[in-house]
Amino acid sequence: QSALTQPRSVSGSPGQSVTISCTGTSSDVGGYNFVSWYQHYPGKAPKLMIYDVNKRPSGVPDRFSASKTGNTASLTISGLQAEDEADYFCCSYAGSYSLVVFGGGTKVTVL
């Protein structure tokens, strides 16, 4: 069982929006503004999509946005495109001992 809880799958039609939740505790997600999100195509290297809760690295489309409320972080993909079909996982700083914890990953399917 992963430290952070994500839905196993979400789906949407092209052009729609989907939101992925990532629920932790006050010791990780709720305690720090160091939540990041990654896009992962099977067999490929994961790609950083969001860092520091809601910041996008250069090159990441602004269709990807994120936020955090309490112990739950969220990633929203707006204007869903076929190329967005991938696994997405969240990550949070969890203190100097545990360092970081990850979510179990969410498969996004474009219908």
Partner 1 sequence: EVQLVESGGGLVQPGGSLRLSCAASGLTLSSYWMHWVRQAPGKGLMWVSRISLDGYKTNYADSVKGRFTVSKDNAKNTMYLQMDSLRAEDTAVYYCTGESPGDRVDFGYWGQGTLVTVSS
Check residue 107 for interaction with partner 1 (CB under 8 A).
Answer: no
Segment 43-102, which members bind partner 1 (CB under 8 A)? 43-48, 51-52, 57, 89, 91, 93, 98-102
Q: How many residues sit in the footprint of partner 1 (CB under 8 A)? A: 27
Report the distance separating Cα 60 and Cα 70, nearest Å: 25
Residue closer to partner 1 (CB basis): 53 or 80: 53
First to last CA, the chain: 28
Q: How far is CA 108 from the centre of its chain?
A: 11
Q: What SS3 state is found at 82?
A: helix
Check residue 29 for interaction with partner 1 (CB under 8 A).
Answer: no
